[in-house]
Amino acid sequence: MGATTELTDYMGFQGLLTDEEKLVRATARQFVNEEVLPIIDHHAQNETFPAHLIRKMGELGFYGPTLPEKYGCAGLSNVAYGLLMYELERGDSGLRSLASVQGSLVMYPIFAYGSETQKAHWLPRMATGEAIGCFGLTEPDFGSNPAGMRTKAVPEAGGKWRINGSKMWITNGSVADVAVVWAKTDDGIRGFLVERGTPGFSAPQMKGKWSLRASVTSELILEDVVVDGERSLLPNVKGIKGPLGCLTQARYGIAWGALGAADACYQTALEYALNRIQFDKPIASYQLQQRKLAEMVTEITKGQLLALHLGRLKDQGKYTFAQVSMAKMNNVNVALQIARTARTMLGANGIMGEYPIMRHANNLESVYTYEGTHDMHLLIVGQEVTGISAFRG
């Protein structure tokens, strides 16, 4: 469904793209049509992870593509990266999550905060998908307020660190070769690279989700995990701005990605409405359904223009995290509403896996919550315009 048609582009925003940006999107679209759409419902229904796609996505350069060629990455514009996220999430939010976490939450902090040795060791292998990473910030008792975290790292003799604590809701956790673990130290919050197999470190998978079922979500358990400072500690950042800086990157990608899911739902509903006859006419001919379609395409279009403008600002280095909050908040919210509305238009068929809508709608519930809940982004924008924080003491 919606596989062979082109993406929705009511205002011709693609006319504002460079040739490279168009080609990146074409590659991603073709990949999703051929490799993802045929298998994704099966994986989501069975709560299994399409692990065979990890390397394929790496070969195509889908991980950390805005990072420099020097590290085996493509050196793309932020807009091209956004378009990649759009197409991946048109396939499934879980797959986009895999790429977001790998690129924005693992490769980015290694690139921005890591030593040259850490960069040279991890980035090229992560670009190809040979190594997979995860990002451990959230804890059972600290979600929206990560600065309150309990995970602690204490320096030891010989340049070592001892880490204790636990993380929860960690995407890619059980399949990761390395975890970026954020922990409190006497010197503020610091980031550590904790490798799979380190004694005391385990990452059991969390089962039973009704959302992002084709994505791995895990706990990270750290019991007296001892790591080598030089190898593990990210030297160039201290404080909560470290993890928040990563989240800004990922949220930007999500602002594009959510629209891809919305587009898949909208196109499916449009096609269905044109073909479904009730009371002797296609349901698309009834005003009630036209209103839904008109509102959906309007929100997708506004979201695209918002994301594109933000991407151009980001390419010029002129964006703020509060602008990223607005885009994440708005675009994920409209995507979720579009998915639910599209569901109604398919009647009973709307609940079936044969159509992608219910899967997207359920996935988007996670997207609405992770990377800062919708509420938290409202509070960030509220703080930006009033100068008063409603969430921090």
Partner 1 sequence: MKILVAIKPVPNPDEKVKIKGDGSGIVLDNIKMVVNPFCEIAVEEALRIREKQTGEVVIMTIGPKASEQQIRTGLAMGADRAVLVEAGTDLDSLAVGKVLAKVVEGEKPDLVLMGKQSVDDDNNQVGQILAAVLGWPQATFASKIEFAADNRKANVTREVDGGLETIEVTLPAVVTTDLRLNEPRYASLPGIMKAKKKEVKVIPLASLGVDTAPRVRVLSYAPPKQRAGGGRVADVPELVAKLKNEAKVL
Ligand X SMILES: Cc1cc2nc3c(=O)[nH]c(=O)nc-3n(C[C@H](O)[C@H](O)[C@H](O)COP(=O)(O)OP(=O)(O)OC[C@H]3O[C@@H](n4cnc5c(N)ncnc54)[C@H](O)[C@@H]3O)c2cc1C
Please list the active-site residues: 371
**Cα-based distances in Å from 95 to 35, 215, 335, 376:** 11, 7, 17, 24
Site for partner 1 in 230-269 (CB under 8 A): none
Residue 344 contact among partner 1, ligand X, none, beta carbon within 5 to 8 Å by kind = ligand X
CA distance linking residue 29 with residue 23, whole number of Å? 10
Residue 83 contact among partner 1, ligand X, none, beta carbon within 5 to 8 Å by kind = none
Interaction between residue 370 and ligand X (CB under 6 A) = yes
Q: Which stretch binds partner 1 (CB under 8 A): 22-30, 100-108, 295-303, 363-371?
A: 22-30
In the complex, minimum distance from the CB of residue 97 to ligand X, in angstroms, rounded to a whole number = 7
The single-letter DSSP state of residue 12 is -
Residue of 40, 44, 54, 76 that binds partner 1 (CB under 8 A):
76
Residue of 81, 135, 266, 319 that binds ligand X (CB under 6 A):
135
Which pair of structure tokens corresponds to residue 203?
């990452």
Interaction between residue 275 and partner 1 (CB under 8 A) = no
Site for ligand X in 242-281 (CB under 6 A): 276, 278-279
Q: Which stretch binds ligand X (CB under 6 A): 7-15, 36-44, 325-333, 347-355?
A: 347-355
Contact between residue 85 and residue 260 where contact means Cβ atoms under 8 Å apart: yes
Nearer to partner 1, 49 or 62 (CB): 62
Which residues, 6+ apart, have CB-to-CB distance to 186 below 8 Å? Answer: none
- From the number of C-beta atoms within 10 Å of its C-beta (0-12, 13-18, 19+), residue 201 rates as buried
Interaction between residue 138 and ligand X (CB under 6 A) = yes
Nearer to ligand X, 24 or 296 (CB): 296
CA distance linking residue 36 with residue 21, whole number of Å? 21
Interaction between residue 54 and partner 1 (CB under 8 A) = no
Interaction between residue 369 and ligand X (CB under 6 A) = yes
Which residues, 6+ apart, have CB-to-CB distance to 96 below 8 Å? Answer: 85, 88, 89, 253, 254, 257, 260
Q: To which residue do tokens 């398919």 refer?
A: 346
Which residues, 6+ apart, have CB-to-CB distance to 206 below 8 Å? Answer: 168, 169, 217, 218, 219
The single-letter DSSP state of residue 130 is S
Instruction: Give the torsion sign (CA, 375, 190, 181, 91).
Output: positive
Nearer to ligand X, 27 or 383 (CB): 383
Nearer to partner 1, 124 or 155 (CB): 124
β-partners of residue 191 are 182
Nearer to partner 1, 64 or 303 (CB): 64
CA distance linking residue 182 with residue 189, whole number of Å? 7
Which residues contact ligand X (rule: CB under 6 A)? 101, 134-138, 143-144, 169-171, 212, 217, 276, 278-279, 283, 286, 288-289, 344-345, 347-348, 351, 366, 369-370, 373, 375-376, 391
Binding site residues, partner 1, CB under 8 A: 4-6, 19-20, 22-24, 26-27, 30-31, 59-62, 65, 69, 72-76, 80, 84
